Amino acid sequence: MLHWKVIFVKPRTEKKLSEYCGLYGIRYYLPLRKKTRIVQRRKVTVDLPLFPGYVFVRLHPSQRLALLQSNLIVRILEPLKPRRLLRDLVMVRRALRVNPHVLTTRPLTKGRLVRIMAGPFMGIEGRVTRITPKMKVVLNVDMIGQAIAVEIEADFVEAL
């Protein structure tokens, strides 16, 4: 578990690095999502990396040089909490099993600008001040330096 690393690769080389990992017997995880495009009046489904630029690798120190010689790696990132990284990857794998067309989004954080997408406050934009199942979103009136706060379901909020 301690040897899982996040590999930051050169643009559009994620699949190539996974081939190198397979060649050297290095365990890896490259989450792929399916995307359907229309090319010359035909539907074509391709697999694209869910997290462009990143491959998750179980890399033993003795295998590091072999992977670096591929000349595809920009940086090797060491996770601060390897167990948490693995847990998050398991959740990603489960979500992809349910819906292979899933998309990435930027995470909601405190201070993030959001738009309310449903409910009585639909269309209103504000900043997140608290992240709970019922989020607190602050709506500023910058002209007069005042604000109001509304609580809204997290499912009704979209990041801007």
For residue range 129-143, list pLDDT tens digits in order.
777 777 777 666 453
Task: Give the closest residue to 80 by CA, choosing from 26, 29, 6.
Answer: 6
What average pLDDT does the segment 105-128 reach? Answer: 77
The predicted structure's pLDDT at residue 2: 65
- Check: CB of residue 5 under 8 Å from CB of residue 67: no
> Is 141 or 44 the better-scoring residue by pLDDT?
44
pTM to 2 decimal places: 0.71
Percent of the chain at pLDDT > 70 equals 88
For 19, residues 6+ apart whose C-beta sits below 8 A from its C-beta are: none
- Check: CB of residue 68 under 8 Å from CB of residue 5: no
- Geometric angle at alpha carbon 91, from 117 and 152, rounded to 5°: 25
- Report whether pLDDT(55) > 90: yes
**Strand 113-116 to 157-159 pairing:** antiparallel
